[in-house]
Amino acid sequence: MRYFTISLGGGKIRVKEGEGLLEALVSAGIWIGGDCGGRGACGRCRVRFLGAFPPPTEAERHLLSRGELDDGWRLACQHNVEGDIDIYVPIFGEITREKVEIIPAYVGPLKPAAALEVLEAFPPSWKDRQSELEGLEATLGNALEPSLPLLRALPAALRTDDRWITLIRVGEKVVSVRPGREKLALRGLAVDVGTSTLAAYLLDLETGEVLGGGAIANPQLPFGADVISRIARVRKERSALKRLQEATVSGVNRLVEELASKAEIDPKEVVHSTIVGNPTMLHLLLGVDPSRIGESPFVPVWRTTLVVSAKELGFTVHPEAVVHILPLVSGYIGADTVACILACGLHREEKPCLLLDLGTNGEIVLGNRERILACSAAAGPAFEGGRISCGMPALEGAISRVEIDGGIRCRVNGGGTPRGICGSGLVDLVAGLIREGFLDRTGRLRRPGTHPLAPRIIGSGKDMGFLVEEGIVLTQRDVRELQLAKAAIRAGVEILLLHFGIEPKEIEKVYLAGAFGTQMHPESLVMIGLLPEELLPKIRAVGNAAGTGARSALLNRMALEEAEHIARKVECIELSCEKSFTEKFVEHMRWGDEGGRE
Amino acid sequence: MRYFTISLGGGKIRVKEGEGLLEALVSAGIWIGGDCGGRGACGRCRVRFLGAFPPPTEAERHLLSRGELDDGWRLACQHNVEGDIDIYVPIFGEITREKVEIIPAYVGPLKPAAALEVLEAFPPSWKDRQSELEGLEATLGNALEPSLPLLRALPAALRTDDRWITLIRVGEKVVSVRPGREKLALRGLAVDVGTSTLAAYLLDLETGEVLGGGAIANPQLPFGADVISRIARVRKERSALKRLQEATVSGVNRLVEELASKAEIDPKEVVHSTIVGNPTMLHLLLGVDPSRIGESPFVPVWRTTLVVSAKELGFTVHPEAVVHILPLVSGYIGADTVACILACGLHREEKPCLLLDLGTNGEIVLGNRERILACSAAAGPAFEGGRISCGMPALEGAISRVEIDGGIRCRVNGGGTPRGICGSGLVDLVAGLIREGFLDRTGRLRRPGTHPLAPRIIGSGKDMGFLVEEGIVLTQRDVRELQLAKAAIRAGVEILLLHFGIEPKEIEKVYLAGAFGTQMHPESLVMIGLLPEELLPKIRAVGNAAGTGARSALLNRMALEEAEHIARKVECIELSCEKSFTEKFVEHMRWGDEGGRE
Average pLDDT on B384-404 reads: 84
Average pLDDT on B318-338 reads: 96
Contact A152 B287 (CB under 8 A): yes
Q: Which of B160, B245, B299, B311 is the mutation pick for testing A, counting most A CBs within 10 A?
A: B299
* A132: nearest CB among B146, B152, B299: B299
Residues 6+ apart with CB under 8 A from B326: B274, B275, B276, B305, B335, B338, B339, B549, B550, B553, B560, B563, B567
Dihedral-angle region of residue A80 (phi above 0 means left; psi in -120 to 50 means alpha; beta otherwise) = beta
List CB contacts (< 8 A) between B296 and chain A. 126
Nearest-CA distance A519 → chain B (Å): 36
Residues 6+ apart with CB under 8 A from B498: B580
* A131: nearest CB among B130, B155, B299: B299
What is the C-alpha to C-alpha distance for residues A423 and A13, in angstroms, rounded to an integer? Answer: 29
Nearest-CA distance B306 → chain A (Å): 7
Contact A330 B302 (CB under 8 A): no
Percent of residues in chain A assigned helix, strand, coil, to nearest 5: 35, 25, 40
Report the residue of chain B nearest A127, measured CA to CA: B297
Contact A148 B572 (CB under 8 A): no
Chain B residues contacting A via beta carbons under 8 Å: 124-126, 129-135, 146, 148, 151-152, 154-156, 159, 286-289, 291-292, 296-304, 306, 308, 312-313, 328, 330-331, 572, 574, 577
* A301: nearest CB among B131, B291, B303: B131
What is the C-alpha to C-alpha distance for residues B251 and B265, in angstroms, rounded to an integer? Answer: 19
List CB contacts (< 8 A) between B146 and chain A. 302, 304, 306
pLDDT number for residue A99: 40
3-state secondary structure of A404: strand
ipTM over 0.85: no
Contact A302 B133 (CB under 8 A): yes
Q: Is the pLDDT of residue B423 over 50?
A: yes
Handedness of CA A424, A428, A430, A434 (dihedral sign): positive
List CB contacts (< 8 A) between B328 and chain A. 131
Contact B125 A296 (CB under 8 A): no
* DSSP letter for each residue of A275-337: EEE-HHHHHHHHT---GGGGSTT---S--S-EEEEHHHHT-SS-TT-EEEEPPPSSSSS-HHH
Check: CB of residue A324 under 8 Å from CB of residue A315.
no
Contact A148 B330 (CB under 8 A): no
What is the C-alpha to C-alpha distance for residues A4 and B271, in angstroms, rounded to an integer? Answer: 43
**Average of per-residue pLDDT values in chain B:** 87
Q: Which of A147, A154, A289 is the mutation pick for testing B, counting most B CBs within 10 A?
A: A289
pLDDT-wise least confident of A451-460, B217-226, B312-321: B217-226
Residues 6+ apart with CB under 8 A from A65: none
pLDDT number for residue A452: 92
Report the residue of chain B nearest A153, measured CA to CA: B288
Please count the other Cβ atoms lying within 10 Å of the Cβ belonging to residue A5. 13
Check: CB of residue A402 under 8 Å from CB of residue A408.
yes
Contact B148 A308 (CB under 8 A): yes
Q: Which residues of chain A have pLDDT under 70?
A: 9-11, 29-35, 90-108, 126-127, 160, 515, 592-598
Q: Is the pLDDT of residue B460 over 50?
A: yes
Nearest-CA distance B110 → chain A (Å): 29
pLDDT tens per residue, range A569-596: 999 998 888 889 999 999 999 875 543 3
Report the residue of chain A nearest B150, measured CA to CA: A288
pLDDT number for residue A26: 76
List CB contacts (< 8 A) between B287 and chain A. 148, 152
Contact B131 A303 (CB under 8 A): yes
pLDDT tens per residue, range B246-276: 999 988 998 899 899 989 999 999 999 999 9
pLDDT tens per residue, range B127-150: 677 899 998 898 888 899 999 999
Domains of chain B: 3-88 (3.10.20.30), 114-179 (3.10.20.880), 187-325 (3.30.420.480), 335-380+493-582 (3.30.420), 382-481 (no CATH)
List CB contacts (< 8 A) between A148 and chain B. 286-288, 306, 308, 312-313
List CB contacts (< 8 A) between A328 and chain B. 131
What is the C-alpha to C-alpha distance for residues B381 and B485, in angstroms, rounded to an integer? Answer: 8
B543: nearest Cα among B220, B210, B224, B218: B210
What is the C-alpha to C-alpha distance for residues B567 and B342, in angstroms, rounded to an integer? Answer: 10
Report the residue of chain A nearest B156, measured CA to CA: A289
pLDDT number for residue B595: 39
pLDDT tens per residue, range B27-47: 766 666 666 777 888 777 888
Chain A residues contacting B via beta carbons under 8 Å: 124-126, 129-135, 146, 148, 151-152, 154-156, 158-159, 286-289, 291-292, 296-304, 306, 308, 312-313, 328, 330-331, 572, 574, 577
Confidence of residue B394 (pLDDT cuts 50, 70, 90): confident
Q: Which of A301, A324, A376 is the mutation pick for testing B, counting most B CBs within 10 A?
A: A301
User: Order of strands, edge to edge, in the sheet holding B173-179?
Assistant: B114-120, B164-170, B173-179
Report the residue of chain A nearest B123, measured CA to CA: A297
Contact B133 A301 (CB under 8 A): yes
Residue spans of alpha helices (H) in B528-570: 545-555, 557-569
Nearest-CA distance A1 → chain B (Å): 17
Q: Which of A126, A130, A134, A151 is the mutation pick for testing B, counting most B CBs within 10 A?
A: A151
pLDDT number for residue B419: 81
Q: Is cis: bond before B297, omega within 30 of 0?
A: yes
Residues 6+ apart with CB under 8 A from B555: B107, B108, B110, B111, B112, B188, B203, B205, B208
Reported as type and span, the H/E element at residue A428 is helix A423-435
Contact B303 A148 (CB under 8 A): no
pLDDT number for residue A203: 93
3-state secondary structure A187-246: EEEEEEECCCEEEEEEEECCCCCEEEEEEEECCCHHHCCCHHHHHHHHHHCCCHHHHHHH
Check: CB of residue A540 under 8 Å from CB of residue A334.
no
Average pLDDT on B469-480 reads: 91
Q: Is cis: bond before B149, omega within 30 of 0?
A: no
Judge residue B297's burial from the number of C-beta atoms within 10 Å of its C-beta, 0-12 exposed, 13-18 middle, 19 or more buried.
middle
List CB contacts (< 8 A) between B131 and chain A. 299-303, 328
Distances (CA, A) of A378 to A293, A329, B55: 14, 17, 80
Contact A131 B303 (CB under 8 A): yes
Contact B146 A304 (CB under 8 A): yes
Share of chain B above pLDDT 70, in %: 93
Check: CB of residue A341 under 8 Å from CB of residue A570.
yes
Reported as type and span, the H/E element at residue B77 is none
pLDDT number for residue B169: 94
Q: β-strand B11-16 against B46-49: which pairing, if any?
A: unpaired
* A156: nearest CB among B289, B298, B312: B289
Buried b (16+ CB within 10 A) or exposed e, B81-110: beeebebebebbeebbebebebbebebbee
Q: Is the pLDDT of residue B1 over 80?
A: no
What is the C-alpha to C-alpha distance for residues A200 and A191, in angstroms, rounded to an integer? Answer: 4
What is the C-alpha to C-alpha distance for residues B187 and B208, in angstroms, rounded to an integer? Answer: 9
Contact A148 B298 (CB under 8 A): no
